Amino acid sequence: MNDYFQIIFSALTLLGVGGIVGGYITFLLDKKKELEFKQLEQKEKRYKSCLLYMDVYFEPKNIKYLSSRQPDIDNAQDVIEYLKAEYHEMLLYASKDVILSVKAFINDPTRENFLKTVLNMRQDLWVKKNDLELDSIRIDFKRKN
């Protein structure tokens, strides 16, 4: 009879310790998932801001969309200066490919460098693989006079 109680006591103890360990592991995994979500959310916000600056560089009339955020932006050079500030911040969180593509855009602001940046940001945020090519997303921007 004594062995019976000892087995039950051991089983209950094991279940209690297992529950505590399992709960702790679940807590750690939830914290990790929450941190990853916050990082992804921050990247998405910063990348969208960066793309908006790039768009305004090519379409100066869109500067009105930035005026509520940065009323001191008046021209393409101001846009590049704000983009440089974004670049310096993204050195903390962005992938290597995104950092290098934004740097390439700052040094040579072309539509091709813009699209390369978009593809690298897309890959860093969601896709994790290269599912689009430059030619498939390029738009012909013929100016109307």
- Residues 70-127 have pLDDT tens digits of 778 777 788 888 889 989 998 988 999 999 999 999 999 999 999 999 999 988 887 7
Q: For a pLDDT cut of 70, what percent of the chain falls above it?
A: 78
Question: Helix axis angle, 76-90 relative to 96-107, nearest 10°?
Answer: 160
Residue of 3 and 54 predicted with greater confidence: 54
- pLDDT at residue 20 tops 60: yes
pLDDT of residue 96: 94
- pLDDT at residue 48 tops 80: yes
Of 64, 40, 42, 41, the C-alpha closest to 52 is 64
pTM of the model as a whole: 0.69
pLDDT of residue 9: 67
pLDDT of residue 145: 43
Q: Would you say 39 and 93 are in contact if contact means Cβ atoms under 8 Å apart?
A: yes
pLDDT of residue 105: 94
- Any residues with CB less than 8 A from the CB of 143 and at least 6 apart, and which? none
- Mean per-residue pLDDT of the chain: 81
Give mean pLDDT, residues 28-44.
87
Task: Name the DSSP letter for residue 127.
Answer: I
Rounded to 5°, the CA angle 94-78-117 comes to: 30
Give mean pLDDT, residues 19-34.
79
Residue 15 pLDDT grade (very low, low, confident, very high; cuts 50, 70, 90) = low
Q: Would you say 102 and 90 are in contact if contact means Cβ atoms under 8 Å apart?
A: yes
Of 112, 113, 115, the C-alpha closest to 132 is 115
CA dist., res. 43 & res. 110, Å (int):
23
Rounded to 5°, the CA angle 131-137-99 comes to: 70
Which runs of consecutive H residues, i.e. helices, occur in the chain?
2-58, 76-90, 96-107, 111-122, 134-137
pLDDT of residue 6: 72
